[in-house]
Chains A and B, each alone.
Chain A
Amino acid sequence: MKMVLIKRQGSWTILGLLATLLILAITFTLASPYFLTHKNFLNIGQAISIRGIIAIGLTIVMITGGLDLSIAAVAAAAGMIAATLINNHVDGTTAALVGLLGAAVLGAINGTIVVRLHINPIIATLGTLLFFRGLAFVISGGANIVIGVNTWSSLGRGFLFGIPVSLIFFLLLIILSYLIMRYSVTGNYLYAIGGNSQACRNAGIKVDFLRYSTYIVTAIFAGLAGLILMSQSGTALPIALSGAELDIIAAVILGGISLSGGRGSLFGTFLGVLIIGVINNGLILSGVPIYWQLVARGFILIVAVTLDGLRRGGGYR
């Protein structure tokens, strides 16, 4: 019985997420006439694409048993770097690449602290969250940087076949990442490292190198999201996505990625991101006051962590 339950746990998680999504859709449809409309679905799609891209990286690092709280700060810093360059007449592509490179460097700092110095990832990335957010402010002296419309604007604002380009970009990235995690040898190693890193070391797998790399990859995804956000609004804000890390972590855990690593899939993350996106959108359309929205988001995070504890059989000790 136990075997059957555990074996099917992943499927139950997905079914539970789909049922939750359905219940939310019905509830918000009844609460607001604007929810069940084509335009609103596009809004949700555009809104989830930024956080969704960050969630892909976070999922990968969490599968190895790691965590990165600095993701939103990295996104802001990457946007600030690219915007500064664009305003200094550097072409958009070069600016974007330098922004991503900057994000990768920030990821390498996280990787060094967590993997090389063996600091708990929660503490380490809580520190770098403040550090990177501070850097984002330092870059412009605290001011927003307006870049206006440029060659990159279509990435954040454009539509292809009536679908937001940012959503298409997110979907392509998550499908590609899912395939790599599911079918590549490296993806399987990342799952195995989250399950038992010592066993992987004994088997000759380069555990530290792979864990280090996941922090860089996570930061690159965050940087990419920061660039799309910048092109969406035509402005880079040092405060961009502040507090969004908690929503993203909630979405990833809700999607079945375990805080202890080794479990879950990017399909679950996709559903987790979608659920959080639908809730945020539905609450606004239903006219729920902003402070109740905060309560709802906190409640979701608690539910997600509790579900993770139950899935692991007995919670945290």
Chain B
Amino acid sequence: MKPLLKIANVSKSFGSVEALIDVNLEVHAGEILGLLGDNGAGKSTLIKILSGVYSADQGQFEFDGRRVDLNTPSAAQRIGIATVYQDLSLVNTRPVAHNIFLGREPRRWGWILDQRKMEKDAQVILERLRIQLPSVAVDVEVLSGGQRQAVAVARSIAQSSQLLLLDEPWASLGVEQTQKVRLLMKDLRSHGVAIILITHDLSEIISDTDRIAVLRQGRLVGYTKSSQTTQHEIIGWITGAVKGEIRQEEKLQ
């Protein structure tokens, strides 16, 4: 099966610090890839490169079989890569519908906001994702942490994204809200959306993901199907206590 995103030989340095060294990765449509590693391993740098915030010093990207450049956030968004940042990047003082369509609002005569269409379309997206909110007209600041996370995800879906980059999606959520986001993530997967999940929470990493990639000191040290590993082994790869393995090496070349 052809990967949705193929990352080949990507490196990035900040001055004398090598943040990423010759990283190869693949993500397939309808799968969740867990991107794991200790602080400073290079996860955030990779995510920022994929979302167009940083440019890679070297390496190539293929998206849906085509070579692509990810030089700016809008270039990444255009090809179908959306990022849900840890701080969610929501405007708390604006209504849900406005947040979902922020920057891509439906318009009439070019400059007037088509409020009715925007609210209707926002409702459709939320229903499709089975996200329950009091209303699309309420300001985001009145929502719970889980509901805000859901709005951030809905926004990326509204961009017709094929690949979602989720950076610590439940870092600030309670148990129940975390479960809701997990269900939402799996629901998106069933709709063919690919997800790269960055998390430090390894408690359910095996069941949350289809594949796991482990970065350590800027290098890809481990890559495996989630079903072929254990939480214990992953912790060993992250800390360096156990030597990592690339278990689908032929796919990463």
Binding site for B on A (CB under 8 A): 2-3, 6-7, 183-188, 191-192, 194-196, 198-200, 202-205, 262-263
- Of B122-130, B136-144, B225-233, the segment with at least 4 beta carbons within 8 Å of chain A is B136-144
Contact B112–A204 (Cβ < 8 Å): no
Whether A192 and B73, one on each chain, are in contact in the complex, defined by CB atoms closer than 8 angstroms, is no
Residue B107 CB within 8 A of the other chain: yes
When chains A and B are docked, how far (Å) is the Cα of A181 from the Cα of B102?
16
Known: A2-B142, A203-B89. 15 other contacts (CB 8 A): A7-B139, A183-B112, A184-B112, A185-B107, A186-B111, A188-B113, A192-B102, A195-B93, A196-B91, A196-B92, A198-B87, A200-B91, A202-B89, A204-B77, A204-B103
A202–B85 CB distance below 8 A: yes
Asked if B112 and A262 make an inter-chain contact with CB atoms under 8 angstroms apart, the answer reads no
Q: Hey, which chain B residues are within 8 Å of A185, CB to CB?
A: 105, 107, 111-113
Say yes or no: A3 contacts B134, CB within 8 Å: yes
Number of A-B contacts (CB under 8 A): 70
Interface residues of B, Cβ cutoff 8 Å to A: 73-74, 77, 83, 85, 87, 89-94, 98, 102-105, 107, 111-113, 115, 134, 138-139, 141-142
Chain A residue with Cβ nearest B118: A188
Q: Name 18 A/B residue pairs within 8 A (Cβ), A-sorted.
A: A3-B142, A184-B112, A185-B107, A185-B112, A188-B98, A188-B113, A191-B93, A191-B94, A194-B93, A195-B91, A195-B93, A196-B90, A199-B90, A200-B91, A200-B103, A203-B104, A205-B102, A262-B94
Binding site of B, secondary structure by majority: helix, strand, loop or mixed?
loop
Closest A residue by C-beta to B77? A204
Shortest distance between the CB of A202 and any CB in chain B (Å): 5
A195 touches B92 (CB 8 A): yes
- Within 8 Å CB of A186, what residues of B? 111
A250 to B77: give the CA distance in the assembly, Å: 42
Q: Which residues of A contact B77 (CB under 8 A)?
A: 204
A7–B134 Cα gap in the complex (Å)? 12
Contact partners of A7 in chain B: CB under 8 A: 138-139, 142
Instruction: Please state if A262 and B105 are interface contacts (CB–CB under 8 Å).
Output: no
Query: 6 tightest CB-CB pairs across the interface, nearest first?
Result: A203-B103, A195-B93, A262-B93, A195-B91, A3-B142, A199-B89
Residue among B73, B91, B112 having the largest count of chain A Cβ atoms under 10 Å: B91
> Of A2, A6, A192, A194, which one neighbours B98 at CB under 8 angstroms?
A192
Contacts of A195 in B (CB 8 A): 91-94
* Nearest-Cβ distance from residue A304 to partner chain B, whole angstroms: 19
Q: Is the CB of B91 within 8 A of A192?
A: yes
Q: Are A203 and B139 in touch, CB under 8 angstroms?
A: no
Bound-state Cα–Cα, A196 to B77, Å: 20
With a cutoff of 8 Å between Cβ atoms, the chain A residues found around residue B98 in the complex are: 188, 192
